[in-house]
Structure 1
């Protein structure tokens, strides 16, 4: 039988190891690439992403185009899956452009009710204050990102390095396109950057780009998805990152 003292010592050692690993990631980051929806805010906190996906599917059905989507795509409840599915079948078409604009407008409508991720704002400002450069690499519209950052007084922390969804929808994450755009523009080697994301697609994009990855998981389900995808560094609160940066500063 393991004693309470032994269990406590083991738990303390595991916590120390996690803190050390997190400290190493942070210490090596000269450039920090942030995903937007998740680590910075919950964009659809008050404006359901699932409803947006259903509306996009309904818009296609109303035009007799529901056959463009498979059964699983129609039921995915993820607007990006719907958008990418149509783009795969009609790349570069007016239909895709219109569907992408409809998604952008829905994201813009969601922006006023977006919920800031706890500790994200002070972490962003502190990280910039200690000399790291910040960029956003996201599948959301850059117009949406700029609108949100402006409302939070954070634009100067990132501008002009905001790399979001383009007309090349096949380059959305997990493709590393937006990460590579950020790295190239900032003249940063992948090994001196850090990606903060909350989905397996963020992790896959970081791996493909050769960028170290820190997962943010606001609940156990999110953490399991990241761990199952291979993430080794995951935090459930950005406070631990903020505390370490303040300690290292």
Structure 2
């Protein structure tokens, strides 16, 4: 088994202790809301997120804006942290719009080398085949999601329900805005949906939207963060869901 397909200890225990809960989550979901980077693919698997973050910081510093970020923000490995930090200080500004577009272009480049999450493709196709409707609710740019899904032949499983980052960055998860947009567009009550995510921000957004949550953790660190955030059901491999769905 590869590290990505091996179930983590904490996640394995969570799933094994209450298999009926996992089965119930899957069977009651008329609509499945997927986070993108993590459950569907590792977007920056071949295009370093750390380098992208550094490039955004360098671009800001080249404009004489070194003091705009704290030391912690400048050293962040997550480009979304840099983007959010600038938006907090200059919300809705041309600077934020330009920075967001630069991040989108980096995400588009990353999409060409993104690594599919093990079992994600067959799980998506199977869930579609059994009649559930799927949507993407992500902090990544919608253009990036559409590009990746088209390359995997998965676009029809989600279209047109892709809800991602806009220039209103205060609506990024953990705000439930993208989840609420999906639910309204699909005419679905929160309790009839299921959110699959790999980060505490996904869990918090689902909680605020009233949507049941299923955590996906590809390693122990991810599982620990999800469980500490209050997620009750976490799996270490999407194969678990695929087996239940096919069964």
Asked if TM exceeds 0.5, the reply is yes
Give 5+ residue unaligned stretches, structure 2.
Answer: 1-12
**Corresponding residue for 2:3?**
none
| Residue 118 of structure 2: aligned partner | 118
Residue equivalent to 1:3? none
Kindly indicate whether structure 1 or structure 2 has the higher relative contact order, using CA contacts under 8 Å at least 6 residues apart. 2
Offset at residue 240 of structure 1 (A): 0.5
| Aligned position for 1:233 | 233
TM-score for the superposition, normalised by structure 1: 0.92
Aligned to 1:35: 35
Q: Which residue of 1 aligns with 2:242?
A: 242
Give per-residue Cα distances to partners, 1:27-84, cap 9 Å, x unaligned. 1111000000000000000001111111101110111102111121111211111001
64-73 vs 216-225, which deviates more?
Answer: 64-73
Give how far 1:16 is off. 5.1
Q: Hey, which bits of structure 1, 4+ residues long, moved more than 4 A? A: 13-16
Q: Secondary structure at the match of 1:98?
A: helix
CA distance in 2, matches of 1:14, 1:137: 24
Provide the rounded CA distance (Å) in 1 between the counterparts of 2:48 and 2:177: 27
- For residues 199 and 191 of structure 1, the distance between their equivalents in structure 2, rounded to whole angstroms, comes to 20
Tell me whether 34-43 or 17-26 shows the greater mean CA deviation.
17-26
The residue aligned with 1:199 is: 199
Paired residues for 1:1-249 under 5 Å? 17-247=17-247
Q: State the aligned residue count.
A: 235
Measured in 2, the distance between the counterparts of 1:157 and 1:92 equals 33
What is the CA-CA distance between 1:20 and the residue it aligns to?
1.2
CA–CA distance in 2 between the matches of 1:15 and 1:86? 39
Scaled by the length of structure 2, the TM-score of the pair is 0.93
What is the alpha-carbon distance in structure 2 between the residues aligned to residue 71 and residue 178 of structure 1? 30
Does structure 1 retain, via aligned residues, the 8 Å contact 2:15–2:235? Answer: no
The separation in 2 between residues aligned to 1:215 and 1:14, in whole angstroms, is 10
CA distance in 2, matches of 1:27, 1:113: 33
* Cα distance, 1:57–1:130 mapped onto 2, change above 3 Å: same
Q: Is the 8 A contact 2:14 2:232 kept in 1?
A: no
Which has more radius of gyration? Answer: 1
Q: Write the distance in 2 (CA, Å) between the matches of 1:222 and 1:228.
A: 10
Specify whether residues 245 and 84 from structure 1 end up closer, same or farther in structure 2 by C-alpha distance, changes over 3 A only: same
Closer/same/farther in 2, CA of residues 59 and 239 from structure 1, 3 Å limit: same
- Give, in angstroms, the shift of residue 17 of structure 1: 3.7
Deviation at 1:91, TM superposition (A): 1.0
Q: 1:18 Cα shift?
A: 2.6
Per-residue Cα deviation, 1:6-30 (whole angstroms, up to 9, x for no partner): xxxxxxx986543211001111111
Q: Give the superposed CA RMSD.
A: 1.2
Which whole-Å deviations, capped at 9, do the CAs of 1:165-205 have from their partners, x for residues lacking one? 00100110000000000000000000000000000000000
